[in-house]
Amino acid sequence: MANLGEFEFIAQLLQGPAAEGQPFYRHPLALGIGDDAALIPPLGPQEQLAVASDMLIEGRHYLADCDPRSLGHKVLAVNLSDLAAMGARPLAFTLSAGLREIRRPWIESFLDGMLSLARESQCPLVGGDTTAVGAQASEVFSVTVLGVVRVGTALRRDGLQPGDDLWVSGHLGDAAFALNQGIDDSKLNAPQPRLVLGLGLVGLASAAIDISDGLQSELMHLLNAAQRRAAQPQCLQANVNWQELPLGPLIRQAALAGRLTPSQAAGLAITGGDEYELLFAAAPRERARIEALGPQLGLALTRIGSVEFSDTPGVRWRDAAEAQPPESLQDMITRGGFRHF
Ligand code: ADP
Ligand code: MG
């Protein structure tokens, strides 16, 4: 039979794929799928919970005919990326699904993608909800992740300080380019949440955020959060050299081949969403330690600019000669990246 009923589906989850390889399920106080609620083993005395939720809606965040394995990976990856940006270690997650029908090969691939990443990240599926939506309705997947941080050490957006350096992990622009060009790219289909980096930045970074809506937009979130938290009103400016952004291999190639102008390539890196890299801030005295962390993790960490007091708050994009970006790039930045509404 091609379709599963709700209870068959839950029974299938209970048979083991959620528990497989997960130390959580061996803890005597842990309880996963199958009861009215999951039970999380006690945390350490100096630990607190970090909680994040993200939802993917058919037709809005993904297409109906997309690869289910990649979708399963992605719905968990975007949530783990939020934990990474807080410097939290994954603990467990729940999955709520609104489905028109539970088609067997499709849902098995979806779970395979999701649970492979769950195993790699030691983040077990411990519960959720499964509901039928109308025959014409969009399907929807919502994940809630739980993570753990040592009390007071989480990487908050509002920790940004004037004088801080700004850094990004990995490279930017390829996810947006791949989406636009219909290219099958791992950056788009299988983003890797930067969990190990997030943990490594605890005690080093003053603030962090993951890049889901585009670098420009995330820079503004950091600045706004710091401004909201400041006791005195303060005007903060992020000063970033657009020519020195770490561009993804796809757009670097396209720029070399003349298919993208340097401005267009930078525009993709600045406004492109779905990156799931970390943007973080750190005091200049931490430069050497951050530079050592990159090779240790096999992940490029690039210093892209700094934060300063200024009469003109916001992001100042400039080149090495302090000149403004060309008008075509300025236009792209003003039009902005991905908007949800
Ligand atoms: P209840 O009626 O108490 O909400 P359900 O029938 O919805 O119970 O769920 C039964 C069990 O199956 C619960 O432990 C729930 O967490 C789990 N479950 C249901 N749907 C999912 C899902 N999509 N992913 C993981 N666990 C699920
Ligand atoms: Mg339920």
Q: What is the CATH number of the domain that holds 317?
A: 3.90.650.10
Residue of the nearest CA to atom 8 in ligand 1? 36
Distance CA 209, CA 299 (A): 17
Q: By the 8 A CB rule, do 54 and 78 touch?
A: yes
267 neighbors 184 (Cβ within 8 angstroms): no
Residues 177 and 312 in one domain: yes
Q: Ligand 2: distance of its center to the CA of 130 in Å?
A: 7
Structure confidence at residue 145 (pLDDT): 98
For the chain, how long is the longest CA-to-CA vector? Answer: 66
Residue 131: CATH number of its domain: 3.30.1330.10
Specify the DSSP class assigned to residue 285: G
CA atoms of 26 and 303, how far apart (whole Å): 42
Q: 37 CA to middle of ligand 2, Å?
A: 9
What pLDDT shows up at residue 337?
A: 47
Cβ of 37 closer than 6 Å to ligand 1, yes or no, is no
Q: Are residues 164 and 109 in the same domain?
A: no
Residues 176 and 116 in one domain: no
Among positive and negative, which fits the CA dihedral 235, 270, 341, 209? negative
Residue 105 lies in a domain: yes
**Claim to verify: residue 138 and residue 181 sit in the same structural domain:** no
Q: What is the pLDDT of residue 234?
A: 80
User: Looking at the 3D structure of the chain, how many domains does it have?
Assistant: 2
Q: What share of the chain is helix, strand, coil (3-state, %, to 5)?
A: 40, 25, 35
Judgement on whether residues 221 and 301 belong to the same structural domain of the protein: yes
Report if residue 90 sits inside a domain: yes
In a domain, 118, yes or no: yes
Q: pLDDT, tens digit, for every residue of 57-87?
A: 999 999 999 999 999 999 999 999 999 999 9
Q: How many Cα atoms within 13 Å fall on the side-chain side of residue 239?
A: 18
Query: Which of the listed residues 129, 141, 144 should we mutate to test ligand 1's pocket, taking the one with most ligand atoms within 8 A of CB?
Result: 129
Residue 340 falls inside a structural domain: no
Shared domain check, 192 and 121: no
Cα(314) to ligand 1 centroid in Å equals 45
**Whole-number pLDDT of residue 70:** 97
Could you tell me the distance, in angstroms and rounded to a whole number, from the CA of residue 36 to the centre of ligand 2?
Answer: 8
Range of the domain at 49: 6-150
pTM: 0.95
Ligand found nearest the CA of 37: 1
Q: Which two tokens stand for residue 100?
A: 């028109």
The closest ligand to the CA of 6 turns out to be 1
Are residues 121 and 89 located together in one domain of the fold? Answer: yes
Atom of ligand 1 nearest to the CA of 10: 12
> With a 6 A CB cut-off, is 118 part of the ligand 1 pocket?
no
For ligand 1, say whether the CB of 20 is within 6 Å of any of its atoms.
Answer: no
The C-alpha torsion from 182 through 186 and 189 to 190, rounded to 10°, is: -170
Q: What does the pLDDT read at residue 339?
A: 43
Same-domain pairing of 170 and 297: yes
Q: Is residue 143 part of a domain?
A: yes
Cα(228)–Cα(234) distance, integer angstroms? 9
State the Cα torsion 277-281-283-288 to the nearest 10°. 10
Q: Which atom of ligand 1 is nearest to the CA of 125?
A: 25
Which residue's CA is minimally distant from atom 10 of ligand 1?
34
Question: Of the candidates 133, 150, 167, which is a domain's last residue?
Answer: 150
The verdict on 131 and 175 lying in the same domain is no
Residue 90 Cα to ligand 2 midpoint, Å, equals: 23
> Which of 150, 173, 200 represents a domain boundary (last residue)?
150
| Amino acid, single-letter form, for residue 45 | P
Atom 13 of ligand 1, residue of closest alpha carbon: 34
The domain boundary residue, chosen from 117, 150, 183: 150
Are the beta carbons of 277 and 172 closer than 8 angstroms?
yes
Q: How far is the CA of 202 from the centre of ligand 1 (A)?
A: 34
- Same domain for 134 and 179? no
Distance (Å) from CA 96 to ligand 2 centroid: 9
Cα 127 → chain centroid:
22
Do residues 242 and 312 share a domain?
yes
Residue 268 sits in the same domain as residue 128: no
Is 1 inside any structural domain? no
Low pLDDT (below 70) residues in the chain: 1, 337-341
Counting from 1 in the atom list of ligand 1, the atom nearest the Cα of 36 is 3
In the reported structure, the alpha carbon of residue 9 is separated from the centroid of ligand 1 by a whole-number distance in angstroms of 10
C-beta of 128 in contact with ligand 1 (< 6 A) = yes
